[in-house]
Amino acid sequence: MPIAVRVHLEFLAASMLAAGLPICGCPASSNDFQARCNQAKNKGIDFLAANQQETGGFPSQWWRTTDPVEKRMVATPFTVSQVLYSLTFCADNPTAGAVSKRAVNYLLAQMEPPGVLRYFGKTGLVSLDVDDTAMAWAALKRTGHPIAREALEAVRASRNKEGLFNTWIGDPSTWTRVDSREIDAVVNLNALLIFGSTHESFGDVCNYLLTQADGEAFRRGTVYYSPMMFAYAFSRAYADGQVSCLQKAVPQIRDATVSLQQSDGGWGDDLETALGALTLLNLSDSSQSVQRGMQTVLARQTPDGGWALTPAYSGDSGRLRYGSRAMTSALCVEALAKYLKK
């Protein structure tokens, strides 16, 4: 065989292996692939440990869509909540336990009476909100902390006349420096996530979310979130939160997620790919879409063990983007952990 051809084939084989793809039509060993997933999960956890701050928080950034290069740091409990939530699926890793303990202390320190939070923590820049409060308690509940009854009451009371959860807590006349008063479907899903643990149902909220899923309105995204974040939040509330009233729309969410998968096995950037894989894992999808998604997650892990900084949500009517390598990496770790347990 000519040297040039042999070199080309060796390069092609190495590239396919790096992406987790089979060579010569022979599927890679299931045990080998699981071992790679476990190694990637542990490296991801080590990345999170290395990037956790002394406070227990994690670096997050924001930028304007008109100037995406100029990024600024922000401290927010929201990133910590997502990292903690994802690490609860990694109980077999002692490093995850140490990171989680510091994250728990951070969240508890950022809470204000009666157990609620703001996006920027105790700085008081914006009103207390349902999303940060719900995600913090969802994560804390999974670590063994019972959800404060008074916090549930505050979230329960933060609904509009149609019975849907507002983004912001309390009387609308008291909201300060909020960027939107519109109802966000993901915020409502995250609220249901914490009430699922108390077996409390909200018919109006479920009907609204089923309508969003059935009409595939979520493909346009929500006030703050992408379509894939809606799909993930839906699957999380249904599978992890046991919000059974969402069951009717499970086939639509599963089918839509499969249809949005791209030719490389991902769903876009690293975060969106983790969300797509997690949605299918949460909804017990048994197609090759999950395997392809996990191959892409593996292929995109960087040498330091993390994954890329990508937009996780927006603000100011879409003019701002927020993201964190820690959040992206935590969701990739969660996907790996759930894949290994399926």
Longest dimension (CA), the chain: 77
What is the pTM (predicted TM-score) of this model? 0.90
Q: What is the pLDDT of residue 14?
A: 41
Complete edge-to-edge strand list for the sheet that includes strand 320-323: 67-74, 60-64, 320-323, 313-315
CA 98 to CA 107: how far, in whole Å? 15
The backbone torsions φ and ψ at residue 91, rounded to the nearest 5 degrees and listed phi first, read -65, -15
CB hemisphere CA count around 308 (13 angstroms): 13
Pick the CATH number of 3-21+28-341 from 1.10.3720.10, 1.50.10.20, 1.20.1260.10, 3.40.630.30: 1.50.10.20
Give the distance from CA 23 to its chain's centroid: 32
- b/e sequence 277-302, b meaning 16+ C-beta within 10 Å: bbbbbbbebeeebbbbbbbbbbbbbe
Per-residue pLDDT of the chain (342 residues; tens, 9 = 90+): 444 444 343 344 444 434 444 433 334 568 999 999 999 999 999 999 999 999 999 999 999 999 999 999 999 999 999 999 999 999 999 999 999 999 999 999 999 999 999 999 998 789 999 999 999 999 999 999 999 999 999 999 999 999 999 999 999 999 999 999 999 999 999 999 999 988 999 999 999 999 999 866 778 899 999 999 999 999 999 999 999 999 999 999 999 999 999 999 999 999 999 999 999 999 999 889 999 999 999 999 999 999 999 999 999 999 999 999 999 999 999 999 999 998
The pLDDT score that the predictor gives to residue 214 is 81
Record the tokens describing residue 187, joined without a space: 């915020």
Residue 165 near residue 206, CB atoms below 8 Å: no
Between CA 261 and CA 268 the distance in angstroms is 8
| Residue 284, token pair as written in the block | 């017990």
**Residue 72, helix vs strand vs coil:** strand
Q: 106 forms bridges with which residues in the sheet?
A: none
DSSP symbols for 16-55: HHHTT--BTTBPPPHHHHHHHHHHHHHHHHHHHHHH--TT
Where are the domains positioned within the chain? 3-21+28-341
pLDDT at 259: 94
Residue 227 near residue 220 (C-beta atoms within 8 A): yes
Predicted confidence at residue 29, as pLDDT, reads 66
Place of tokens 């089979």: 22
Q: Which pLDDT belongs to residue 215?
A: 67
**CA dist 185 to 11, 210, 257, 311, Å?**
46, 10, 17, 18
Distance CA 287, CA 296 (A): 15
**Which residues is 112 bridged to in the sheet?**
116
Angle CA 130–135–136, to nearest 5: 100
